[in-house]
Amino acid sequence: MPRGIGKLTSLETLSEFVVDKDGSHGGADLSELRLLNNLRGQLQIRNLGFVKNAKEKFKAANLKEKQHLRSLNLYWNADNDDDDDEKSLEDLQPHPNLKELWIRGWRGDAKFPSWLSLLTNLVKINIRDGNFKHNPSFAQLPCLKHLHIDNCTELQYMDDNSPKGSQGEAQSFFPSLKLLRLWDCPNMRSWWRTKKSIDDESNEDDTTVMGTATTVFPCLSSLEIENFPLTSMPLYPSLDGELELKNTNSRPLKQTIKMNITSRTPSSSTSSLPLSKLKSFIVNSIEGLDTHTLDECLQHLTGLKTLEIRDCKEVDLEGMQWERLKNLSGLRIDNIPKLVSLPIGLRHLVQLKTLGIRNCSALRSPFPVFQHLTFLEYFSISNCKELELSAAGIQIFQDHTSLRFLGLENIPKCWHLPEWLQHLTNLQELYLIDLPNLTSLPDEMRCLTNLQILEIGGIPELEERCRKDIGADWHKIAHIPNIQLYQ
């Protein structure tokens, strides 16, 4: 930043203040922020780890007098290894009017500043790449709607206090929180500080903490937990947006399903089930998740629109009930080793528009449920090495299909395109990628009169046959406006 900027005392917009690494460029230091108390909107302060005489300069920045600031981003440099206690967050106290606070890359002392509890107007908190071992209790911040904790590898718990379980506390626990993201904190197993470790394999019944004493998020709409081995946390029965669980434990999910939602939310219908208003559910590599548990969960998700099931080695999908998911419009299945054929129960997904299948090594043939999926518009299948799409007699698509997109990738047993291709009269995009044994296109390609895009990649012999005007198969595809061939 140019030296002398501190003289612009009427300045209202300064979106970024970058600290000079070694002072050799004659740049401004933080003390020049002292009198810029008319700043509004957002202020990012970058490279804070380079500040010399930090305690003095941090205080000199005078952030607590900047009452018009709405968003403050405190960024340390990525290569900062300084653990000097003088670089304390305590000296960067902002004004209580602040709405958004971002703290990124703090590697100094593991203490969170005491002033956080004074920022009662905070709506959003984002803490990333921090060295904190625990956070202060955010639960009492009355306006907090968004909380994002990311890559705090030393973090052990979120709240020092165990849940008391009183009716009054449940109502004041994160009273406004709508979105919670917890990413990449491998040492945090419990939301609350606990003296004993939580044993995932213990004989403790999941229902022992159920009932009116259980702490829940009263307004939470969307929850994302990734690489965060939580086995104990507040429950989330009223989610109505997205739930994404990746590389975490299944215990909180099991407890949420089993709880009585009407005991916590008197205004709800007595027939309401936990998670019954959820719109999107992504489950990816969850410890302790088997077919029975997933099936039990899906029975609650009557409002679900999209579902993704990934890297679930103990789930086979075959024994599950799909009847309640009649509103589902999108389904993705990825790396389910036990999946041999698509379960016949999928025929109940009459509103399904998108279906994607990847990395299912045991999948041999799709069960003929597609004739019931008359609204299906997008179908993609890839990396299924045992799949035989073109086996004789298999007609997975019939007349009047709505399919507009078809993608086939890395399917070694695809010797030729299946006969049902001729029924895809509404198809607009066709992608054929890495099909090593596909050597020619069928005459039925000429039936695809609405096809706009044909992409062929990683199939050298077929690409040669599709060369414009000279290829042996060119006459079958000459009507397609956009043909892309990639070696």
Whether 263 shows a pLDDT value over 60: the answer reads no
Q: How confident is the model at residue 9 (pLDDT cuts 50, 70, 90)?
A: confident
Residues 376-421: pLDDT tens digits?
Answer: 999 999 999 998 877 655 667 766 578 999 999 999 999 989 888 8
CB atoms within 10 A of CB 259: 23
CB atoms within 10 A of CB 105: 20
Q: Specify the range with the lowest mean pLDDT, choosing from 25-39, 117-131, 428-442.
A: 25-39
What's the pLDDT at 394? 64
CB atoms within 10 A of CB 161: 10
Whether 304 shows a pLDDT value over 80: the answer reads yes
Q: Specify the range with the lowest mean pLDDT, choosing from 111-120, 243-252, 296-305, 395-404.
A: 395-404
Residues 351-360: pLDDT tens digits?
Answer: 999 999 999 9
How distant, in Å, are the alpha carbons of 84, 168, 235 from that of 165? Answer: 40, 8, 12
Q: How many CA atoms lie within 13 A of 357 on its CB side?
A: 24
Q: How confident is the model at residue 52 (pLDDT cuts 50, 70, 90)?
A: confident
**Which of 115 and 169 is assigned the larger pLDDT?**
115
Q: In the structure encoding, which two tokens stand for residue 109, read together?
A: 């002392």
Q: pTM (2 decimals)?
A: 0.87
Contacts of 460 (CB under 8 A, 6+ apart): 487
Q: What are phi and psi of 351, to 5 degrees?
A: -100, 5
Contacts of 171 (CB under 8 A, 6+ apart): 218
Q: 320 with 298: CB under 8 angstroms?
A: yes
Percent of the chain surpassing pLDDT 90:
52
Most confident of 33-37, 123-127, 289-293: 123-127
What's the pLDDT at 399? 64
Q: What residues does 222 pair with on adjacent strands?
A: 179
Q: 302 with 263: CB under 8 angstroms?
A: no
Q: How confident is the model at residue 25 (pLDDT cuts 50, 70, 90)?
A: low
Q: How confident is the model at residue 87 (pLDDT cuts 50, 70, 90)?
A: low
**What average pLDDT score do residues 324-350 get?**
91
Q: How confident is the model at residue 266 (pLDDT cuts 50, 70, 90)?
A: very low
**Which of 128 and 27 is assigned the larger pLDDT?**
128
Average pLDDT, rounded, for the chain: 85
**What average pLDDT score do residues 233-262 get?**
90
Closest Cα partner for 18 from 31, 27, 9?
A: 27
